[in-house]
Amino acid sequence: MDVLLKDNQSWAHYDTSHFPDVKVTLGKKIRNEEDFQNFLNDWESLYAKNKNFTLHFDTTQVGGVSMKYCFKMRRFIRSIKEKYPKLLEKSFIKTESRWVRFLLSIIFFLEKPVAPVHVYSGSFDEYNNVTTYHP
């Protein structure tokens, strides 16, 4: 079993125990730049497996994230496109927050995603209020 889980203080918790399905649970608040950088580093480390994978983000606990992280995500997405083969097949982002949806729309306006991204509300089985962003 291969699980990347950070301590409870980290903003992002990666669970790779069901790889190629990777569950990423995001906390309420990004504490500092290091917290966000750890989130990006852990994401990038998934490419070391050199196998296709799918990301399942749970953002239901995310609070007031600063818009500055939109620009950091744009740079990260761009660097992933330049550095790695297309191993990320798709992403699912669960959110109940209009603010998170707004931030995602900004990110994907600035930079197209690496793979299709499905943003939804409710349970994964119900898959309500879906917005899809395409590469």
Q: How far apart are CA 129 and CA 121, in angstroms?
A: 6
Over residues 21-35, the mean pLDDT reads 94
| 123 pLDDT above the threshold of 80 | no
Which amino acid belongs to residue 21?
A: D
pTM (two decimals): 0.89
Q: Is the per-residue pLDDT at 2 higher than 70?
A: no
Tens-place pLDDT, residues 64-75: 889 999 999 999
* Residue 42, SS3 per DSSP: helix
Query: Domain 12-133 carries which CATH code?
Result: 3.30.750
Q: What percent of the chain has pLDDT over 70?
A: 91
pLDDT tens readout for residues 103-121: 999 999 999 999 999 999 9
- Residue 8: per-residue pLDDT: 56
Sorted by where each begins, the domain ranges of the chain are 12-133
4 has pLDDT over 60 = no
Q: State pLDDT tens for residues 77-92.
A: 999 999 988 999 999 9
Looking up tokens 């991204």 gives: 117
The 10s digit of each residue's pLDDT in 41-67 is: 999 999 999 999 999 999 999 988 899
Average pLDDT of every residue of the chain: 91
Distance (Å) of CA 44 to CA 84, 102, 114, 120: 9, 24, 13, 24
Helix axes 68-83, 33-45, angle to 10 degrees: 20
